[in-house]
Structure 1
Amino acid sequence: MGNVFKIKELRYIPRWLVFFIDVSIVSFSVVISHFSLINLNVKINFTEYGPEKIAAIIGVNILFMFLFKTYAGIIRHSTFSDFFKIVWSSGSTLFVLLVLNFVSEQKLGKTVYVYLGLFLFFFISVFLMFFFRMLTKRFFSIFMSSKNSSSKIRIAVVGIDDESVSLANAIIHNPTHPYHLSGFLSARADFKKAMLLGHKIYHKREFLTDSNLAKQFDAILIKEMTSNPVMEEWTAFALEKGLKILKAPVINKMNEGGIIGGIRPLQIEDLLNRTPIKIESEDVRRRHFNKSVLVTGGAGSIGSEIVRQVSQLDPSVIVVVDQAESPLYELELELLERFPNQSFKFVLADISNRYRLEKLFEDYRFSIVYHAAAYKHVPLIEDNPHEAIFVNIAGTRNLALLSKKYNVNRFVMVSTDKAVNPTNVMGASKRAAELFVQSLQNSYDNNTKFITTRFGNVLGSNGSVIPHFRKQIAKGGPVTITHPDIIRYFMTIPEACELVLQAGTMGQGGEIYVFDMGRPIKILDLAKRMIKLSGFTPDVDIKIDFIGLRPGEKLYEELLTDNSTTIPTHHEKIMISRDPLMEFEDIEILCKQIIRSAIKKDRLQVVKILKTIVPEFISNNSEFEVLDKTPEHEVYQ
């Protein structure tokens, strides 16, 4: 039978069939109203013209059906707008017939139609045509939802507001997608056995008292705009009941298919997102409008987002520098498509090559430099300390000196919380770069404002812990953690870049900007939550292994040094760190020395000079601990 009618493959009823059914309903309504008048013993005029009178009613109604296109809508998506089309069509027919009756009464002394019959016809025809649509809609909904329903994900939509209802409707009306609406969840208790779209509304308390209720669902669906505290609450509830958590996109300007296609599993980033720092967009826009901007490390996580945000501020040109060929080319393709009217220059270059950089400064006369290029992976840099010197120190030195030489208005450096009381070469090299940049602020003949931003781990950045855990979970584990007590601060990539842009606007030169990172997160808790969000049980389905701290790694990161003081700014979430400074002449000598040692690949000498530049640099779990414990003359024996 299914092969004959192919109902499951039928996407909509053809328009000609809808039109034929509507005409049949109109004809049936005329007959019903006529027999109703006979049963009521109502006198009917012009009985000898009965067929002509019926044909006139149907003909006029067909005319208005074409005019208002009552047959054009997809029946299974019928709404009250379709109902109003029917009302307009039948109402216009009624109006024309009433006018005909009035003219007939004036000219012939009696009406063509019985007034009661016309109103009966109107109400019966409107009711039957709309009832046909609602019945068809319900039939499609029930029949199509039964298709492979056993293999579909049974969803409970969180909330009963308008947006939640729209999401539920999208699920109902998209039977080809792998979701089946099974009900609604609400924290509200102001309803008793209420139904919505034919489905029951459940209160959280019902799940707590009925242990079998959760078995009716596979997942809960949360709206994207749900606040973090509410999302945390529902996530904890779902994980406790063994339900998956899905997240729906913003409905605005999306059709139903787009909404369903945008549903995705809740990610750990969704729960870690902090309240975003708001920037004064007008100041930022004015600072960048029609200006020449350089972004180093432009193909990286932070650098590429800086480029995207700056592209919206109408600069005259954005020069994007990176030494990673493939990521730079991919970024070029993306930006040229997204911002076709923006002028870009994509440069494949190493920032340790001063001659290559100077040509760019000569040609473009930059107004703002965003320096995001850096080596950042702690264990790799611990094994290759000379590379950190070439890029993090020498590269920063090149850019800063060229910015001063070519009178760049603002130089904004992206730093890290690992530069605070560093325990590894990477963090110490970034602290040395901070010191060099700060030292230029008060150097002779300087007109550039040198600004540093310092923040913690960035969610989803290249090489960060969350993508690493996600890959391990996808492979079935184990998830590896260095230490059960290790904690980190987290922030989002857009937020980090907004801070960088804001700092470039706020700074007067020489500042290191830090900001309220919220509460630090225990990495073990992060791993357990990610495993649960993936539908597994920690240490049962996915094992967690502790592998020990890596070379140079510490249990917690800091944003301020012990000797620093914090100065508030006009933004409550952004502060200025007053760290110890060095004179330009002193750090310039040390930088030249450490670069010469890096060229010679003298690992111990490189780190020894680095510890001179950054006295608070105490190595941890590293071969370089010997420099902290052994007298200098014994190190080289």
Structure 2
Amino acid sequence: MIKYFFSYITTINVTKKRVAIFGAGDVGISTKRALEHDMTANIQMVLFIEDDQRKVGKNIDGIKICSSSQLEVLLKQYLIDELIIATTKLASKRKNEIVDFCLDNKIEVFTVPPLKSWINGQLSTKQLQNVKIEDLLEREQIKLYNEILFKQLNNKTVLVTGAAGSIGSEIVRQLLQYKPKLIVLNDHAETPLHDLKLELEEIGCSNFKLELGDVRNDLFVERIFQEYQPHFVYHAAAYKHVPMMEDSPLEAICTNVGGTKLLADLSIKYGVERFVMISTDKAVNPTNVMGASKRIAEMYVQSLYQNQEIQFQSDLSTSRTKFITTRFGNVLGSNGSVIPRFKKQIEAGGPVTVTHPDITRYFMTIPEACQLVLEAGSMGNGGEIFVFDMGQPVKIADLARKMIKLSGLEPDDDIKIEYSGLRPGEKLYEELLNNAENTLQTYHEKILIAKTRTIEYSSLSIQIDALISPAKKQESVTLVVSAMKQLVPEFISNNSEFEKLDSPKVVTMNKVG
């Protein structure tokens, strides 16, 4: 009693913040009551805002429910200081419009966490969260065709390479719901793999084995195939940072090309049912070593499948490995990505560094990307490159400004934005399709099939072996990158020391296309 009296005395003379709740359903009502029961919450509940016109005009505990169609007018009219979004039914575009309006008018925006995270089924005001940039870039939740995936994966052995990375670890989490017999977790990074092990053990998962090692090590990788006989392979292991691979082309070839080739070859040898490779939008008209290395890996996987089909076209009794490639853009919150970096820069007081005022990128959440990987992997007949609908590209400078505002600060005044110039190999914008490609629809509206040129296996295999050999021996970087450009004629370097290797004729032709 003394504690509550003290809280009352200390807040009675403080101007109360005027609060509106968007959503007059059960979550909105629970939010209102949590605020009212928190003696330290110095707020005045002013109104509910609701999409459902059947509720508009009614009252909840004396608080009026108003129409969301008048939201901007209502927020100004009632001098709202804080808006709490207490609904999951708000479309991403509308949520962005609301948040933009609030940021421009110095109104703080909070969200209510999912019901499953409430404490003993009760919402605490301490759980209300400031809107995060990830909330505004999310899209509608994907519904998977679970029955197909369950039939394919249930009681099977699955190998995931790069299992401790952002994509690999989420693939592992999502695989669990399909009850595979065993998931073999491979990564060369010891600490992240150990962290994943602890995470899985905490949720009572025991159907997994750790395999710490490098996908470039042929004896190590073959031992995994011999020992576990995987039915499915999800290949997420790769070097992905563009500037680093411009400095380390030989490593990009050894891992992104050599590692993929080794895994793909062994998948055929050991009768793997499906091999799903994770690729990138940077493989399209690549301007950097990383993207070109992933394009070469794509080419090999496709040609290997086509060669397998030719070899066994008259032998229906021989099982074939279905090789499937999935290609998408940047994922939110992945290791080393722009959003975590901007957050650190803002917390440090700035500046926030953007490479170019006009640079744009596609974004997708990690769970969404992995759901689409599983879905594409299940629907593929073999040899396809699946391209994901990444939505609209986001201007990185606008992203930085919005993140600064979401932190309660003003761009340029409180936090400076500095432009550092494009990094080696970096594009102003990414492409999901090659100019010479077209797409086919699938039964999933967010997954398309990219039509690429057919590449003959035997000559490509020889060329790739000739590329991997000097890379392994740490021989001439110039010769290796030149060989990459011969394999991928559309690989035109940008802002890179390797621009000198591009033929002026080739550059002109590609720019026209």
Alpha-carbon distance between aligned partners in 2 of 1:344 and 1:299, rounded to the nearest angstrom: 13
Matches within 5 A, 1:550-589: 550-589=423-462
Alpha-carbon distance between aligned partners in 1 of 2:184 and 2:74, rounded to the nearest angstrom: 61
The reply on whether 1:279 has 2:132 as its aligned counterpart is no
Task: Mark the CA change 1:193 to 1:364 in structure 2 (over 3 Å): closer, same or farther.
Answer: closer
- Please point out which of 313, 336, 342 is paired with 1:469: 342
The reply on whether 1:308 has 2:173 as its aligned counterpart is yes
1:221 alignment counterpart: 84
Which amino acid in structure 2 is aligned with residue 407 of structure 1?
Answer: G
The reply on whether 1:382 has 2:246 as its aligned counterpart is yes
3-state DSSP class of the match of 1:366? coil
CA deviation profile, 1:354-406 (whole Å, cap 9, x unmatched): 11011110011100000000000000110111110111011101110110110
Which amino acid in structure 1 is aligned with residue 476 of structure 2?
Answer: D
The reply on whether 1:491 has 2:491 as its aligned counterpart is no
The reply on whether 1:612 has 2:486 as its aligned counterpart is yes
1:58 alignment counterpart: none
Structure 2 gap segments, 5+ residues each: 313-319, 506-513
Give the Å deviation of 1:160.
2.9
- Please point out which of 41, 47, 50 is paired with 1:184: 47
Give the Å deviation of 1:280.
0.6
Greater C-alpha radius of gyration: 1
2:183 alignment counterpart: 318
Alpha-carbon distance between aligned partners in 1 of 2:71 and 2:162, rounded to the nearest angstrom: 53
1:456 alignment counterpart: 329
Structure 1 gap segments, 5+ residues each: 10-142, 632-637
Alpha-carbon distance between aligned partners in 2 of 1:195 and 1:522, rounded to the nearest angstrom: 42
Alpha-carbon distance between aligned partners in 1 of 2:280 and 2:420, rounded to the nearest angstrom: 24
Bigger share in helix: 1
Which amino acid in structure 1 is aligned with residue 440 of structure 2?
Answer: I
2:4 alignment counterpart: 8
Alpha-carbon distance between aligned partners in 2 of 1:298 and 1:359, rounded to the nearest angstrom: 18
Matched-pair contact (CA < 8 Å) for 1:449–1:508: yes
Give the Å deviation of 1:241.
1.4
The reply on whether 1:515 has 2:388 as its aligned counterpart is yes
Give the Å deviation of 1:593.
1.5
Matches within 5 A, 1:359-378: 359-378=223-242
Which amino acid in structure 1 is aligned with residue 497 of structure 2?
Answer: E
3-state DSSP class of the match of 1:554? coil
Alpha-carbon distance between aligned partners in 2 of 1:206 and 1:591, rounded to the nearest angstrom: 60
Matches within 5 A, 1:187-202: 196-197=60-61
Alpha-carbon distance between aligned partners in 2 of 1:612 and 1:489, rounded to the nearest angstrom: 28
Q: Report the count of equivalent residues.
A: 491
Alpha-carbon distance between aligned partners in 2 of 1:190 and 1:291, rounded to the nearest angstrom: 50
3-state DSSP class of the match of 2:178? coil
Matched-pair contact (CA < 8 Å) for 1:154–1:179: no
Give the Å deviation of 1:279.
1.8
Alpha-carbon distance between aligned partners in 2 of 1:253 and 1:264, rounded to the nearest angstrom: 12
CA deviation profile, 1:580-630 (whole Å, cap 9, x unmatched): 232221121122211222122421111111111111100000000000048
Matched-pair contact (CA < 8 Å) for 1:381–1:387: yes
2:509 alignment counterpart: none
3-state DSSP class of the match of 1:535? coil
Give the Å deviation of 1:233.
3.0
1:169 alignment counterpart: 33
- Please point out which of 270, 278, 288 is paired with 1:414: 278
Alpha-carbon distance between aligned partners in 2 of 1:152 and 1:356, rounded to the nearest angstrom: 65
Give the Å deviation of 1:330.
0.4
Alpha-carbon distance between aligned partners in 2 of 1:192 and 1:585, rounded to the nearest angstrom: 69
Structure with more relative contact order (C-alpha pairs < 8 Å, separation 6 or more): 2
Matches within 5 A, 1:52-201: 147-148=10-11, 150=14, 155-175=19-39, 178=41, 180-186=43-49, 196-197=60-61
Alpha-carbon distance between aligned partners in 2 of 1:292 and 1:330, rounded to the nearest angstrom: 22
| CA RMSD between the two structures | 2.7
1:268 alignment counterpart: 133
Task: Mark the CA change 1:181 to 1:274 in structure 2 (over 3 Å): closer, same or farther.
Answer: same
1:541 alignment counterpart: 414
3-state DSSP class of the match of 2:261? helix
3-state DSSP class of the match of 2:103? helix
Give the Å deviation of 1:6.
2.0
Matched-pair contact (CA < 8 Å) for 1:145–1:180: no
Task: Mark the CA change 1:146 to 1:438 in structure 2 (over 3 Å): closer, same or farther.
Answer: farther
Task: Mark the CA change 1:153 to 1:431 in structure 2 (over 3 Å): closer, same or farther.
Answer: farther
2:508 alignment counterpart: none
Give the Å deviation of 1:187.
5.8
CA deviation profile, 1:481-531 (whole Å, cap 9, x unmatched): 111111111111111111111111111110000122221111111111111
Once the two structures are overlaid, the 10-residue window that deviates more, 516-525 or 148-157, is 148-157
3-state DSSP class of the match of 2:115? coil
Matched-pair contact (CA < 8 Å) for 1:458–1:493: yes
Identity rate, percent: 49
Give the Å deviation of 1:238.
1.2
Alpha-carbon distance between aligned partners in 2 of 1:498 and 1:617, rounded to the nearest angstrom: 30
- Please point out which of 98, 101, 105 is paired with 1:241: 105
Matched-pair contact (CA < 8 Å) for 2:56–2:66: no
Give the Å deviation of 1:278.
2.4
Alpha-carbon distance between aligned partners in 2 of 1:344 and 1:275, rounded to the nearest angstrom: 31
Which amino acid in structure 2 is aligned with residue 479 of structure 1?
Answer: V
CA deviation profile, 1:69-126 (whole Å, cap 9, x unmatched): xxxxxxxxxxxxxxxxxxxxxxxxxxxxxxxxxxxxxxxxxxxxxxxxxxxxxxxxxx
- Please point out which of 126, 146, 158 is paired with 1:293: 158
Alpha-carbon distance between aligned partners in 2 of 1:210 and 1:386, rounded to the nearest angstrom: 58
Task: Mark the CA change 1:564 to 1:229 in structure 2 (over 3 Å): closer, same or farther.
Answer: closer
CA deviation profile, 1:425-457 (whole Å, cap 9, x unmatched): 000000000001111102245721100000111
Which amino acid in structure 2 is aligned with residue 509 of structure 1?
Answer: G
Alpha-carbon distance between aligned partners in 1 of 2:42 and 2:468, rounded to the nearest angstrom: 60
Task: Mark the CA change 1:151 to 1:381 in structure 2 (over 3 Å): closer, same or farther.
Answer: farther
Matched-pair contact (CA < 8 Å) for 2:28–2:87: no
- Please point out which of 176, 198, 201 is paired with 1:336: 201
Which amino acid in structure 2 is aligned with residue 452 of structure 1?
Answer: T
Which amino acid in structure 2 is aligned with residue 239 of structure 1?
Answer: L
Matched-pair contact (CA < 8 Å) for 2:426–2:495: yes
3-state DSSP class of the match of 1:517? coil
Task: Mark the CA change 1:163 to 1:226 in structure 2 (over 3 Å): closer, same or farther.
Answer: same
- Please point out which of 511, 526, 529 is paired with 2:402: 529
Matched-pair contact (CA < 8 Å) for 1:564–1:577: yes
3-state DSSP class of the match of 2:307? coil
Give the Å deviation of 1:144.
5.4
Which amino acid in structure 1 is aligned with residue 4 of structure 2?
Answer: K
The reply on whether 1:442 has 2:315 as its aligned counterpart is no
2:510 alignment counterpart: none
Alpha-carbon distance between aligned partners in 1 of 2:76 and 2:474, rounded to the nearest angstrom: 69
Alpha-carbon distance between aligned partners in 1 of 2:25 and 2:175, rounded to the nearest angstrom: 37
The reply on whether 1:623 has 2:486 as its aligned counterpart is no
- Please point out which of 211, 214, 222 is paired with 1:350: 214
Task: Mark the CA change 1:582 to 1:209 in structure 2 (over 3 Å): closer, same or farther.
Answer: closer
3-state DSSP class of the match of 1:318? strand
Which amino acid in structure 2 is aligned with residue 171 of structure 1?
Answer: L
Alpha-carbon distance between aligned partners in 2 of 1:401 and 1:563, rounded to the nearest angstrom: 28
Which amino acid in structure 2 is aligned with residue 303 of structure 1?
Answer: G
Alpha-carbon distance between aligned partners in 2 of 1:326 and 1:306, rounded to the nearest angstrom: 18
Give the Å deviation of 1:232.
2.1
CA deviation profile, 1:407-436 (whole Å, cap 9, x unmatched): 100000000000000000000000000001
Alpha-carbon distance between aligned partners in 1 of 2:114 and 2:235, rounded to the nearest angstrom: 34
Task: Mark the CA change 1:169 to 1:453 in structure 2 (over 3 Å): closer, same or farther.
Answer: same
